[in-house]
């Protein structure tokens, strides 16, 4: 182990670490500001479900080209089905929540994911709930209660549809990660393609059910924006996977939390949004829960 550490610390290893950290920061930046192009499309008359379906269809097509030489696992299975469904709920929920609510508030509720991860790991992976895990749950719940408290009602309940969508997206994100750990036999490329396909199929079904407006843009500039978003989605997944493969899980979580900072700055500059002190306090508790969860992951992998 010590020899390996010295090897990683060499010039080549240090460069790989810098590239990996840069990749994670780049991914956090992309996910922190990706809501804004979707808002531009919404304001131009392209429904959030329609724009998500189109951009992920473009990402899926690009993925087929990029991964054409990789042996993808296409055999139908319940694992791929649940991975696709979780990815659809996560990505569609995130986009729709940021289109209809305060961006940073939605993102903070999304980052309740460590709470759901601890509970889902117990149910699906049979991981024992430790005192540290109970602490993560307590911190997450306290942060959520602080943010969602409604003085006029007296209950810490979501205030609107955007809150609910943010919570659902965070739960689906945790579910995707836990299922991905459980499906260790599947290649990363297969999981990414399943995620893209899940968003496309679910979005198309929602549009056919009348839950969104299938209004295709006519302006070339809007189609260019949709195409760019599809490319960005592929790039974001690739760079994040590159970083996750080379940075310890506990460090990766801390780096990815910069997404909240990027989103806060973008929301302030681009949408003139500001959070109340109660939201920041609740968010701080949720971020603390994420950091504790990263510490738990570090100890789990070290055993």
pLDDT averaged over every residue in the chain:
80
Q: What element of type H or E holds 69?
A: none
- pLDDT at position 8 over 50: no
- Region 106-132: what's the mean pLDDT? 73
CA atoms within 13 Å, Cβ hemisphere of 198 = 24
155 φ/ψ angles, rounded to the nearest 5 degrees: -125, 140
149 φ/ψ angles, rounded to the nearest 5 degrees: -60, 130
pTM of the model: 0.80
Q: pLDDT tens digits for 33-71?
A: 999 999 999 999 999 999 999 999 999 999 999 887 777
Quick check: helix, strand or coil at residue 128?
coil
The token duo for 292 is 């504790």
Q: pLDDT tens digits for 283-301?
A: 777 777 766 665 665 555 5
Q: pLDDT tens digits for 193-206?
A: 999 999 999 999 99
- Region 71-87: what's the mean pLDDT? 83
* Rounded CA separation 110/260 (Å): 10
83 φ/ψ angles, rounded to the nearest 5 degrees: -60, -45
Q: How far apart are the first and last CA of the chain?
A: 14
């Amino acid at each position: 182990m010590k020899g390996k550490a010295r090897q990683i610390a060499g010039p080549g290893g240090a460069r790989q670490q810098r590239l990996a950290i840069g990749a994670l920061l780049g991914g956090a930046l992309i996910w922190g500001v990706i809501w804004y192009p979707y808002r531009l499309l919404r304001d131009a008359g392209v429904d959030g479900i329609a724009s998500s379906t189109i951009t992920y269809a473009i990402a899926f097509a690009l993925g087929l080209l990029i991964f054409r030489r990789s042996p993808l696992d296409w055999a139908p299975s319940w694992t791929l089905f649940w991975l696709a469904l979780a990815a659809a709920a996560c990505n569609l929920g995130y986009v729709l929540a940021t289109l209809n609510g305060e961006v940073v508030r939605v993102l903070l509720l999304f980052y309740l994911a460590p709470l759901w991860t601890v509970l889902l790991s117990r149910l699906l992976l049979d991981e024992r709930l430790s005192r540290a895990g109970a602490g993560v749950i307590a911190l997450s719940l306290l942060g959520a209660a602080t943010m969602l408290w409604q003085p006029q009602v007296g209950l810490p309940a979501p205030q609107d549809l955007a809150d609910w969508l943010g919570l659902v997206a965070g739960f689906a994100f945790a579910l995707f990660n836990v299922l991905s750990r459980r499906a260790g036999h599947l290649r990363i490329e297969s999981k990414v393609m399943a995620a893209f396909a899940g968003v496309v199929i679910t979005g198309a079904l929602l549009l056919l059910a009348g839950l969104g407006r299938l209004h295709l843009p006519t302006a070339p500039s809007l189609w260019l924006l949709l195409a760019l978003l599809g490319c960005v989605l592929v790039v974001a997944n690739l760079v994040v996977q590159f970083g996750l493969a080379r940075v310890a899980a506990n460090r990766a979580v801390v780096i990815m939390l910069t997404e909240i900072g990027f989103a806060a700055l973008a929301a302030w500059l681009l949408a003139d949004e500001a959070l109340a002190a109660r939201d920041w306090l609740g968010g701080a508790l949720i971020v603390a829960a994420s950091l504790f969860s990263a510490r738990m992951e570090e100890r789990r992998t070290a055993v």
